[in-house]
Amino acid sequence: MTISLYTSTIHDGSMKPLHDTENALVSANRETFLLHNAINPADTTLVQITYETDDFRRYFTLDDGARGDGITRQATIEADALVVTKPNHALLLPLADCIGAVIHDPTRDILMLSHLGRHNLEQYGGTKSIEYLAAKHDCDPQDLTVWLSSAAGRDNYPLYTFDNRSLHDVATEQLITAGVLVQNITTSPIDSAADTNYFSHSQFLAGNRDSDGRFAVVAALR
């Protein structure tokens, strides 16, 4: 199997409701975006990020019963990364400034979509994501390919805990530490805090954007 990978922009509308009044609009935005890319919303699971926790390394492998969770029905799974092993099961991750890491094992047909933001990286989420795949699915890190989505760059979003380095730099280092080959890591060149085609929560708070919202990464095994 291969993977299909899509990233929404501000023109697709926000992919996460920030207020209860936005629920219906965001649901419509998600459905339109998914269908435009030939993905069935009923076969898609939301990677629902929450911050009311001290643990930002919550990883789960899904079965077919999770299809549609958070997309066509209320979300029941809170996670920092989700894993699928069946074809045509898609994962959707809304993003503000952080990285969506699409991790694929082509030898075992396994797909993980991992949220790598400041909180996750401070708990070495890049390394822990790979360790989960190795322990749970017997993946060899050297077989994995990783794509790191657009994210806020160092100029607008330095990671003070990591000597003011960027999200992309720290995530890449953690993945390599876990055994992923550097040549198997692809990083989006887009700085979402500088590119107005993408939502950026930090830039909204700084008064540099008129609207807040979330773009999304969607990935699916095909």
- pLDDT one-digit tens code per residue, 29-63: 999 999 999 999 999 999 999 999 999 999 999 99
Say whether pLDDT at 20 is over 90. no
pLDDT-above-70 percentage for the chain: 100
Mean pLDDT in residue range 147-163: 96
Task: State the burial class of residue 81 (Cβ atoms within 10 Å of its Cβ: 0-12, 13-18, 19+).
Answer: buried
The residue ranges of every structural domain in the chain are: 3-221
Q: Domain 3-221 has what CATH class? A: alpha beta
Global pTM reads 0.96
Section 103-124 average pLDDT: 98
**Confidence band of 1 (pLDDT split at 50, 70, 90):** confident
pLDDT in tens, 194-209: 999 999 999 999 999 9
